[in-house]
Amino acid sequence: MKQRIKLKGRLKAYLQTSFVLGGILALINVAVYFLDIKSGLVITAFLAVYFCAMLILFYHNKPIIMNEFVSFAAQYGQIQRKLLRDLELPHVLMDDSGKIIWTNQAFEEVVHKEKGYRKSITSLFPTITKEKLVFDQCMDIQLTYEARDYIMKMKKVALDDVMERSDVFEKDGFEGYFIAAYLFDETELKRAKSEIEEQSLTVGFIYLDNYDEALQSVEEVRRSLLIALIDRKINKYVSSLDGIVRKIEKDKYFVIMKKKSLMQIKETRFELLEDVKTVNIGNEMAVTISIGIGLDGAGYIQNCEYARTAIDLALGRGGDQAVVKSPQSILYYGGKSQQVEKNTRVKARVKAHALKEIILSKDRVLVMGHRLGDMDSFGAAVGISCIARALERKCHIVINDVTTSVKPLIDLFDDKNVYDDDFIINSSQAMELAGNNTVLVIVDVNRPSITECPELIKECKTVVVLDHHRQSAEVIDSAVLSYVEPYASSACEMVAEVLQYVDGPVKVRANEADCLYSGMIIDTNNFTAKTGVRTFEAAAYLRRCGADVTRVRKMLRDDAKEYKAKAETIGKAEIYKNAYAISICPSEGLESPTVVGAQAANELLNINGIKASFVITKYQNQIYISARSIDELNVQIIMERLGGGGHMNIAGAQLSNVNETQAMDVIKDTLNTMLQEGAI
């Protein structure tokens, strides 16, 4: 497009000054005619000569003046061009498609191209695609070229803006834009930051999980040798990483190391966890450790707090694992062995006494479990109601959706002469009863997001948690009493122990004992999984309270539809990599398909060679995954990758915005990834 070139601004005004003054003089001339005609004629003659001379000079000198302007502009442009050419900062000018128009010498040295290179910028930097060249005004792109790190700052330069800012030429219909870009070399800066970060200190704690139990399993004369060998192994391992370790208690160590060393430990997935287990001088029980490490905090104090949180998480998840906590994330390693059951019941007695004092200080007790409650959560809630009744406090159990597995138990409380109408309530009724004089007891769950009513936790100032699941990053922070024991087979087992240690006689009716007993049977799969001495002792206590095995067995029977659905799930199971059974449970026509899916997952473990089973169930527009294993695999860490959790042998997760087939692919991809990482 041909552009019209016109003068504008101060330069135009300066050149027009003589004509403006001539016009003013002409006006004065008119006024002079009224005073003296002869004088007016003289001025008129002068004006005629003046205007003729000015017109002749203007048209004669205009090309000369414009030539001088162009010459000056060219010289000025050459100076600017030379400055840009010699600028040490790499600079490139492109059109809107990314084609290079002009480069300076520094840019040519970086990309090793000669002057006049006119190809697209994408041919030099594949990271910069044509899609990335479409942006609003400015954009920064991180890129690597010949082992050096750069940041390219790009900015649009519109043609009409350039012409509009000109003091010489007028803008008339210019369109389009250029892209001006600068390259900033950040290689040394990143290297310095990386070195500083690698040299930053991390704080950690190492705890011996089963110190007392391990010592009891070895001869007394060898106990000091066992501890000495463990101390030596831990000290040697940390020292090899240029770290410092100090023993602060008989079974606790304090560790300081560089972040660079921590990266090395992560690559080996904390091999110290397995090394300590190899210490054997005749001890029947292998020693396991838990590791908690904090890093990237605002200071050493915050790193120490992170480390304490991490070690608490490691212990709460069953021990024999490492937890690394930073402000952005929590990472888990290990956790491949079962937590050893504690022989002492001191903790249960202490927690029972504390629970009694808390309940006595309030007027009302609310008990709730997890969403889609099962027999274990309801049975544990019934056990807490027995304690509240013995302490003469009103108790309410919060349940929203009654599943088919829980309905037989709820039917046991239909006698209105014994139980009030508000013994079992929903979330809205519970919210009305919540307040400062109400204690909320949460059973069989320690994650607030999956409780029956998460809002209830905020309304109640006093919260108690009793659970047997391994803790995750999401915990109930407001709990005044937290009793979480992953070694326990079920929440009903824990509550049954607490019942025995509450001061004063706690009468447990036969139907209530049935509820607790059924919860233990479900979570232990008929006393075949996660059972210990204390599990059978708790079952014996419930039998003495009137629990009847026959009645419980009848309540646990499936109806025909559920039995057929379970059989179909088992029949259609896919054996993946000869070790993992994955199947989809049909949900149509079932009241509680998730329960059927969990039962099918248990049955799939009876197949020879199966390390873990995964059953997918669609319920209420969500995908529920039930994961089970015996002892070879930790399904908890697999489900945590999918946003869930649970136990080492019993875990689950919920997925949204996927169907059953996509969920199966997600499980397979997760297994493949974790197998490649060595996490399972």
Q: Is residue 613 part of a domain?
A: yes
CATH assignment of the domain containing 435: 3.90.1640.10
**Are 186 and 213 part of one and the same domain?**
no
What pLDDT is recorded for position 168?
A: 45
Residues 597 and 645 in one domain: yes
Q: How many domains does the chain have?
A: 5
Residue 344 included in any domain: no
Look at residue 174 in the predicted model and tell me its pLDDT. Answer: 46
Q: Does residue 666 surpass a pLDDT of 80?
A: yes
**3, part of any domain:** no
Q: Please report which confidence band the pLDDT of residue 169 belongs to, taking 50, 70 and 90 as the band edges.
A: very low
Q: Nearest-CA neighbor of 514 among 554, 541, 552? A: 552
402 secondary structure, DSSP code: -
183 pLDDT above the threshold of 80: yes
In the prediction, which pLDDT does 66 show?
62
Residues 100 and 188 in one domain: yes
Residue 564 has pLDDT above 80, yes or no: yes
The half-sphere exposure of 622 on its side-chain side, counting CA atoms within 13 A, is 10
| pLDDT tens column, 108-143 | 888 888 877 778 888 888 888 877 888 778 888 888
Give me the domain span that covers residue 625: 560-677
Q: What is the mean pLDDT of the chain?
A: 82
Q: Is 350 a member of any domain?
A: no
Pair (587, 546) in one structural domain: no
Long-range contacts formed by 559-562: CB under 8 A, 24+ apart: 559/404, 561/589, 561/590, 562/404, 562/590, 562/592, 562/595, 562/596
Please check whether residues 538 and 638 belong to one and the same domain. Answer: no
* pLDDT, tens digit, 9 for 90 and up, residues 503-560: 777 888 888 999 999 988 888 878 877 777 888 888 898 998 888 888 888 887 777 8
> Residue 120 has what pLDDT?
82
pLDDT of residue 173: 46
83 against 200, higher pLDDT: 200
Residues 615 and 596 in one domain: yes
Vertex 134 angle, CA 130 and 138, to 5°: 125
Both 376 and 514 in one domain: the answer is yes
Q: 3-class DSSP state for residue 153?
A: strand
pLDDT at 67 over 70: no
Q: E strands, 12-103, where?
A: 91-95, 100-103
375 plus 518 within the same structural domain:
yes
Same domain, 400 and 548: yes
Do 104 and 79 sit in the same domain of this protein? no
Mean pLDDT across 391-415: 86
627 and 493 share a domain?
Answer: no
Tell me the mean pLDDT in the region 28-57: 81
Domain membership flag for residue 28: yes
Structural domain contains residue 348 = no
Could you give the CA distance from residue 330 to residue 530 in angstroms, rounded to a whole number?
Answer: 27
Residue in the structure block whose two tokens are 């329960």: 595
User: Are the C-beta atoms of residues 369 and 430 closer than 8 Å to each other?
Assistant: no
CATH of residue 573's domain is: 3.10.310.30
Q: C-alpha distances in angstroms, 631 versus 196, 316, 320, 612?
A: 43, 19, 14, 9
Domain closes at, from 532, 555, 578: 555
Select the more confidently predicted residue: 87 or 71. Answer: 87
Strand 574-576: give its sheet, edge to edge.
Answer: 574-576, 580-585, 612-619, 622-629, 650-655, 645-646
Residues 77 and 158 in one domain: no
CATH at 155: 3.30.450.20
- Out of 161, 193, 225, pick the residue that ends a domain: 193
Q: Evaluate whether residue 618 is within a structural domain.
A: yes
Cα separation, 344 vs 211, whole angstroms:
13
**Cα 361 to Cα 6: distance, rounded to the nearest angstrom:** 91
Least confident of 180-184, 302-306, 471-475: 471-475
**CA 433 to CA 438: how far, in whole Å?**
8
Which of the listed residues 85, 103, 128 is the one where a domain comes to its end? 85
Q: Residue 5: pLDDT above 60?
A: no
